[in-house]
């Protein structure tokens, strides 16, 4: 098994005379590293990757590198090097897929963590070693190729990629000058078990408490009806699902409402309470936060499955393959002891739960962290919790988080990309361009500036000390830039929030950060 990483170097400024050939790079490699291939792609060619095809790029040298990290493990990464000009910047992109915790981001591998079973070295690769090793080697090969030094290094990732970004900030603060981390799956020892817990909450499928996909649609409609106007404007966007005063009992079946396909039984309401409630366990211990109201579209994917197996439902991979190392471990055994063991072992040292970020701050690093309020895969509250823990660790020591850490919550955005009810979500981060329809999409089409493009905002903060005071999220018509803009909205650095001040709610000017 391997970790699939894409490391890209941005363009333009210095001329390059190096050749794209394995023989050029070999002198810079240790004995455990090999070049799988090295070849030049022109701007007219298409790069066929595991998650899509890439066209319209400048001429570049593509490397595919294999690293033997131990006698029983290896990882691989890709490196793209523009062959015309280079601006002395380096950017690394992390893994995105959350269902298999990002060890391999190809769709075919999603959900399969069998590679981790009884293999601690591969867990270490996945936890932190593959990314850090790829960055160190990628930088060395980049500087060798251009015969020049990198001036600025950046990182962007979402989901597991967000976790990887936080892990780099915590363990290797010198790796990057700026980090853009979204919807971070940072609390591995808790979140991965929580995935299983919410799946079990709605099983078995023939139980009286089971909530169907059709009922989840009913729930979503009622959530929007009750919550939308509570933020000051009825625009089909729930600005903050955690502050909505939602009355779930409005969905109860009654003597006058007996169609069980359009209302909830008491048992089914209890399932929703469990799924949308914080996980509190032994001795009132907080384990993991709940979903926000408004995330129902993706929550359905987490709790509803065609597989009726209570022994091996969705989410079982982490406790089974990482923690217990037992392919026959039954999901029904999940309890607080599983959380305690997960914390104690922290397989692969994957959990990114260091809150004292002074080393990153003191080296001048900058962190932009974002999360969508309609995320139904990783609850938005997990990012809020992380930010508040950093506050608790650093404010008493005299640090102002705004000096190096800005956290943005994006109303209506789902997991990493996409949205519900036409909410603006696009900020040009990590995997987001691949969620748009069209060719040669990069940055924020039509708005290549620091207010709309999160990566440009990060660069401006690092290189010019211009901190982002807002990020404008964009919704393109049918998520197709060529069709034009449907809506845009300010998002604000936490704890500020965008407040409606009047006018057309599809316009940025109708909201202010307060």
Number of domains in the chain: 1
Nearest to 288 by CA among 387, 194, 389: 194
**Cβ-based neighbours of 465, under 8 Å, separated by 6 or more:** none
User: What's the pLDDT at 51?
Assistant: 60
Residue 343 lies in a domain: no
Establish if 210 belongs to a structural domain: yes
pLDDT tens digits for range 359-403: 999 999 999 999 999 999 999 999 999 999 999 999 999 999 999
Instruction: Categorize the per-residue pLDDT at 18 as very low, low, confident or very high, splitting at 50, 70 and 90.
Output: low
Structure tokens at 467: 């901190």
Residues 9, 89: contact at Cβ < 8 Å? Answer: yes
- Structure tokens belonging to residue 147: 């015969």
409 has pLDDT over 50:
yes
The two three-digit tokens of residue 221, written as one number: 């409609």
Domain coverage including residue 210: 191-284+291-332
pTM, rounded to two decimals? 0.94
Lowest mean per-residue pLDDT among 297-311, 389-403, 408-422: 297-311
Gap between the Cα atoms of 126 and 74, Å rounded: 10
467 within a domain of the structure (yes/no): no
Residue 56 is predicted with a pLDDT of: 76
How much is the average pLDDT of 231-247?
Answer: 96
pLDDT computed for residue 4 by the predictor: 42
pLDDT in tens, 451-491: 999 999 999 999 999 999 999 999 999 999 999 999 999 99
Is the Cα dihedral 230, 235, 241, 242 positive or negative? negative
Q: How confident is the model at residue 99 (pLDDT cuts 50, 70, 90)?
A: very low
φ/ψ of residue 406, rounded to 5: -120, 130
DSSP 8-state symbol, 252: B
Residue 248 pLDDT greater than 90, yes or no: yes
Q: Residue 101's pLDDT is what?
A: 33
Q: How confident is the model at residue 52 (pLDDT cuts 50, 70, 90)?
A: low
Residue 261 makes CB contacts below 8 A (sequence gap 6+) with 214, 215
Q: Looking at the domain assignment, is residue 413 inside a domain?
A: no
Asked whether residue 55 carries a pLDDT value surpassing 80, the answer given is: no
Q: Are 3 and 102 in contact (CB under 8 A)?
A: yes
Average pLDDT over the chain, rounded to an integer: 91
Instruction: At 58, list the tokens.
Output: 């400048």
485: part of which helix (H) or strand (E)?
strand 485-491
pLDDT of residue 111: 56
Structure tokens at 419: 């949205």
Domain membership of residue 227 (yes or no) is: yes
Of 322, 319, 353, the closest CA to residue 335 belongs to 319
The arithmetic mean of pLDDT across residues 316-326, rounded, is 96
Asked if residue 57 belongs to a domain, the reply is no
User: What is the arithmetic mean of pLDDT over 49-62?
Assistant: 78
């Amino acid at each position: 098994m391997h970790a699939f990483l894409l490391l890209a170097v941005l363009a333009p400024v210095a001329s390059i005379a190096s050749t794209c050939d394995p023989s050029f790079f070999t002198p810079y490699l240790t004995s455990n590293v090999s070049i799988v291939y090295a070849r030049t792609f022109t701007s007219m060619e298409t790069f066929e990757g595991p998650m899509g095809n890439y066209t319209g790029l400048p001429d570049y040298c593509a490397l595919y590198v294999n690293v033997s990290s131990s006698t029983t493990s290896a990882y691989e990464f890709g490196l793209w090097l523009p062959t015309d000009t280079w601006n002395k910047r380096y950017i690394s992109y992390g893994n995105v897929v959350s269902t298999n915790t990002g060890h391999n981001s190809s769709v075919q591998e999603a959900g399969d963590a069998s590679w981790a079973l009884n293999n601690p070295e591969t867990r270490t690769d996945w936890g932190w070693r593959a990314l850090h090793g790829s960055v160190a080697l990628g930088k060395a090969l980049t500087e060798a190729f251009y015969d020049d030094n990198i001036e600025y290094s950046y990182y962007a990732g979402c989901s597991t990629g967000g976790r990887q970004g936080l892990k780099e900030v915590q363990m290797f603060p010198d790796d990057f000058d700026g980090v853009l981390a979204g919807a971070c799956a940072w609390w591995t020892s808790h979140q991965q078990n929580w995935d299983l817990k919410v799946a079990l909450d709605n099983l078995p499928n023939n139980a009286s408490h089971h909530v169907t996909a059709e009922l989840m649609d009913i729930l979503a409609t009622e959530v929007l009806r009750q919550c939308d106007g509570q933020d000051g404007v009825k625009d089909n966007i729930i600005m903050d699902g955690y502050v909505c005063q939602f009355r779930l009992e409005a969905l109860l079946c009654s003597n006058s409402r007996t169609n069980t396909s359009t209302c909830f039984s008491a048992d089914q309401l209890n399932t929703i309470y469990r799924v949308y409630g914080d996980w509190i366990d032994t001795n009132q211990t907080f384990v993991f936060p709940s979903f926000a109201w408004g995330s129902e579209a993706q929550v359905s994917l987490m709790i509803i499955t065609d597989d009726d197996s209570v022994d091996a439902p969705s989410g079982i991979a982490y406790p089974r393959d990482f923690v217990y190392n037992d392919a026959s471990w039954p999901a029904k055994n999940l309890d607080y002891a599983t959380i305690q063991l997960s914390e104690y072992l922290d397989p692969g040292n994957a959990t990114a739960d260091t809150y004292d970020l002074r080393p990153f701050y003191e080296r001048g690093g900058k962190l932009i962290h974002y999360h969508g309020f309609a995320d139904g895969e990783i609850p938005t509250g997990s990012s809020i919790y992380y930010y508040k823990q950093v506050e608790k660790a650093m404010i008493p020591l005299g640090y102002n988080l705004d000096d190096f850490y800005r956290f943005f919550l994006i109303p209506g955005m789902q997991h990493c990309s996409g949205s519900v009810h036409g909410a603006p979500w696009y900020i040009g981060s990590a995997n987001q361009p691949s969620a748009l329809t069209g060719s040669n999409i990069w940055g924020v089409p039509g708005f290549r500036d620091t207010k709309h493009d999160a990566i440009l905002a990060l660069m401006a903060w690092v290189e010019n000390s211009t901190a982002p005071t807002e990020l404008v999220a964009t919704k393109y018509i049918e998520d197709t830039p060529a069709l034009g803009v449907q809506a845009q909205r300010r998002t604000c650095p936490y704890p500020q929030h965008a407040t409606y001040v009047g006018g057309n709610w599809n316009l940025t000017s109708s909201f202010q950060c307060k």
